[in-house]
Amino acid sequence: MTSAEFYEYGFMTTGGTSDTAYFIADQVQKGRGHLQSPHSLGLGANGVLEDLVKVTEECSSADWDGYGAAPITNETFWQAYHFLRALPFGFPIPSAGAEPDGHLTFEWHRSSRRTLSVSVSSEGDLHYAALLGASKAYGTEPFSEVVPKIILDLINRVCSI
Amino acid sequence: MLKIDVTETFQHLEHAPIVEAVIEIRTRVESPWEESALRDQLKARLPGYPKVFSQNDFRHELKVKGGQPPEQLFHDLGWRGLRLQSVDGRYIAQFNRDGFFFSRLHPYESWDQFKGEAIRLWKVYAEFAKSQEVQRLGVRFINRIALPVGEVRLEDYLRVPPQPPGELDLQIMSYFHQDSLLVTGHPYAISIVKTVQPPQGSESDGGGLILDIDVFTTKPFDQRADAIDKRLAEMRWLKNKVFYSSLAKGALEVLK
């Protein structure tokens, strides 16, 4: 198994309704929380969670840019939040922003020719676009608990030395 | 490449420790997802499931500000689907916007009965949802083996028990182990969780050893009945292999 495959499948689960299933989910959550607490592995390092909340608050009304932009809704915020939480431990953390169509955006920027932008819609669609030197990559992937492999690969390619 | 042999038979365990068996089929609904229309359909077609509950999506948030008590916030994200329960409450089905979920609670009867009922309800779901493709198929079996009161030796239960590092004289206070494994040559992965649940209050409860086996597909596929059937048979074999390879011989003897 490659490390990317490990990340892709590592945290997916089939649901459960019994008390035991809830106990397991709680233990998994605690384990993840424990691993995400240090700055080296977690989301605290560059304040992206705070930025996400701030951007959402600032752009929660229609026309927030003065040019008719759609508001960022609670649904979009939570989709983006869960996308961020689903990033594998130790992966580069993006910066957060908003788009006029009401999507939240994450950007991994290394230079003007090596950059990746992933915008998250309220339905959980991930629209991505990357510049990698002379080549481009773009498309849409559904988000359901795990970050799609294609996006993890692009993050790696943009951020690798 | 791992050879999957769906014809292999496994030892029958009279006291199988299954507390929950789940088949989950995640898909994308292509029809208008309307509560009243779905309710009418299910009422007419599934009379054995008289308890129907509406389910909304919620998000939970905990706001913490320095010097103030934490504030809990719940966000309602709207209607997700319906949750159905059989008369005896042992079968639970969920017809959700993002997929179908079917669960059998203790006591588990048999694979044929469990799978047969899941597929019967899935057909109703698929007809209503008009979905074309299965995004993810999951087969999850949660096992809980009751532990005796007092000192427990996990090596009596697990083939690979937890070990303190090196030669150090340390006692294990808690145990949680998760593996995610890719099945080479097949579109499956397996998540295995082994953990110990502490006693739940009563003096006769020594807690439980949990073995949670979750086999799932790694690639979307066309949702034809034979395609689902083939995968379910293979995933069941994988689940059984993991179960019988994880427990110590003594533990299996007790469950016979």
> Mind listing the pLDDT tens digit for each residue in B181-227?
999 999 999 999 999 988 876 777 888 999 999 999 998 999 998 99
Is-contact A85 B59, C-beta < 8 A?
no
CA distances (Å), B161 to each of A128, B16, B54, B78, B157, in order?
44, 20, 42, 44, 8
The reply to whether residue A13 touches residue B208, judged by beta carbons under 8 angstroms, is no
Is-contact B188 B238, C-beta < 8 A?
yes
Task: Tell which of B64, B77, B114 to mutate to test the A interface (max A CBs under 10 Å).
Answer: B77
Residue ranges per structural domain of chain A: 3-12+46-159
Set of chain B residues whose Cβ sits within 8 Å of the Cβ of A6:
180
Residue B197: CB partners within 8 Å, gap ≥ 6?
A20, A23, B144, B207, B208, B209, B210
What was the pLDDT predicted at A87?
83
* Nearest chain A alpha carbon to B85: A17
Q: Give the distance from CA B89 to its chain's centroid.
A: 17
B136 interface with A at CB cutoff 8 Å: yes
What was the pLDDT predicted at A37?
58
Which of A9, A18, A27 lies at the smallest CB-CB distance from B176?
A27
What was the pLDDT predicted at B13?
93
Which residues of chain B fall short of a pLDDT of 70?
A: 58-77, 201
Which helix (H) or strand (E) element contains residue A34? helix A19-36
What was the pLDDT predicted at A43?
62
Adjacent-strand bridge partners of B96:
B81, B99
Which one, of B118, B242, B98, B120, lies nearest residue B181 by Cα? B242
Which helix (H) or strand (E) element contains residue A21? helix A19-36
For residue B95, give both structure tokens: 């017809």
Which helix (H) or strand (E) element contains residue A118? strand A114-120
Q: Find the farthest-apart pair of alpha carbons in chain B and give their distance in angstroms, rounded.
A: 65
A68 interface with B at CB cutoff 8 Å: no
Which of A5, A12, A17 lies at the smallest CB-CB distance from B103?
A17
Rounded to whole angstroms, the Cα distance separating B78 from B94 reads 16
CA angle B51, B57, B59 (to 5 degrees): 135
Rounded to whole angstroms, the Cα distance separating B143 from B198 reads 15
For residue B210, give both structure tokens: 């949990």
The reply to whether residue A24 touches residue B20, judged by beta carbons under 8 angstroms, is no
A66 interface with B at CB cutoff 8 Å: no
3-state secondary structure chain B: CCCCCCCCCCCCCCCCCEEEEEEEEEECCCCCCCHHHHHHHHHHHCCCCCEEEEEEEEEEEEECCCCCCCEEEEEEEEEEEEEEECCCCCEEEEEECCEEEEEEECCCCCHHHHHHHHHHHHHHHHHHHCCCEEEEEEEEEEEEEECCCCCCCHHHCECCCCCCCCCCCCCCCCCEEEEEEEECCCCEEEEEEEEEECCCCCCCCCCEEEEEEEEEECCCEECCHHHHHHHHHHHHHHHHHHHHHHECHHHHHHHC
Q: Give the distance from CA A125 to its chain's centroid.
A: 11
B21 interface with A at CB cutoff 8 Å: no
What was the pLDDT predicted at A126?
94
Set of chain B residues whose Cβ sits within 8 Å of the Cβ of A14:
22, 24, 138-140, 214, 216
Is-contact A116 A107, C-beta < 8 A?
yes
Set of chain B residues whose Cβ sits within 8 Å of the Cβ of A20:
19-20, 142, 144, 197, 208, 210, 212
Write the DSSP symbol of residue A12.
-
Which of A5, A21, A74 lies at the smallest CB-CB distance from B182?
A5
Indicate the Cα dihedral angle B48, B49, B50, B54, nearest 10°.
-170
Is-contact A7 A148, C-beta < 8 A?
no
Is-contact B114 B80, C-beta < 8 A?
no
B146 interface with A at CB cutoff 8 Å: no
Set of chain A residues whose Cβ sits within 8 Å of the Cβ of B90:
none
Which residues of chain A fall short of a pLDDT of 70?
A: 1-12, 32-46, 161
Give the closest-approach CA distance of B140 to chain A in angstroms: 6
Query: For chain A, give me the number of helices (H) and strands (E)?
Result: 5, 5
Set of chain A residues whose Cβ sits within 8 Å of the Cβ of B178:
28, 31
* Nearest chain A alpha carbon to B141: A16
Which one, of B207, B245, B21, B211, lies nearest residue A24 by Cα? B211
What was the pLDDT predicted at A92?
83
